Chains A and B, each alone.
Chain A
């Protein structure tokens, strides 16, 4: 299994957005809650499209939400 090199701040941004739930975020970006959980736990690296959608929900830039650690 490849190690996930992308870390994220989704948990922090959810907290800053009035404790947005994973389900709410999932519905806003059009994926299942399980996928949000996997991304948040760094078990899955989202596609660029999904990463942009998530960043846009938080009114943040992609780099603010996701970091690439090679």
Chain B
């Protein structure tokens, strides 16, 4: 497994861990004591904003830790160049992300036509965002391994 694949894998594991811990924290500290909060739009807005901030911070930390470990183990710096193959893989994973997120958004908003509760729409949006991140990373690893 090459350095980039390891980096993506580390990022993927961090995403899963952060999302799981964050969801559990929000559920236990906000939803359990006050279940009706799920009908409050500002709760979903705040949850989304904080999750985005936490994810960005987690990714930065993962990159720094990975670079340090890589330097210790291999005595080499992580290459900063992003060549043509990286860019094509990035574009292909972005296409997968867009398709899945568009599908998730369509399902989430479309479910409102059938009178489904609004909090389910937000839950679907959150879920599709999470699935997109996971599948995007899996696509990238898969393309690096199988080739283009």
Residue positions of A touching B, CB distance < 8 A: 1-2, 4, 30-32, 34-35, 37-38, 41-47, 50
Q: A31 to B148, Cβ gap below 8 A?
A: no
Residues from chain A with a CB closer than 8 A to the CB of B73 are none
* Partner pick for A44 among B2, B3, B79, B148, CB 8 A cutoff: B148
Q: A35 to B84, Cβ gap below 8 A?
A: yes
Does B83 sit within 8 A of A, measured CB to CB? yes
Q: B146 to A1, Cβ gap below 8 A?
A: yes
Interface size on B, residues (CB 8 A): 13
* Partner pick for A32 among B81, B146, B148, CB 8 A cutoff: B81
Residues from chain A with a CB closer than 8 A to the CB of B144 are 34, 38
Residues from chain A with a CB closer than 8 A to the CB of B146 are 1, 43
| Centre residue among B2, B85, B144 by max chain A CB count within 10 A | B85
Q: Nearest Cβ in chain B — how far from A11, in angstroms?
A: 16
Residues from chain B with a CB closer than 8 A to the CB of A1 are 146-148
A45 to B85, CA, bound (A): 9
Q: A38 to B147, Cβ gap below 8 A?
A: yes
Q: A43 to B147, Cβ gap below 8 A?
A: yes
Q: B4 to A34, Cβ gap below 8 A?
A: yes
In the A-B complex, the 5 residue pairs with the closest CB atoms: A43-B147, A31-B83, A35-B85, A34-B2, A44-B148
A65 to B79, CA, bound (A): 27
* Partner pick for B148 among A30, A34, A45, CB 8 A cutoff: A45
Q: A31 to B81, Cβ gap below 8 A?
A: yes
A29 to B19, CA, bound (A): 40
A7 to B147, CA, bound (A): 14
Residues from chain A with a CB closer than 8 A to the CB of B86 are 32, 35
> Chain B 77-114, CB within 8 Å of chain A: the 1/0 string?
00101011110000000000000000000000000000
Residues from chain B with a CB closer than 8 A to the CB of A41 are 147
Q: B84 to A31, Cβ gap below 8 A?
A: yes
Q: Nearest Cβ in chain B — how far from A5, in angstroms?
A: 12
A26 to B66, CA, bound (A): 23
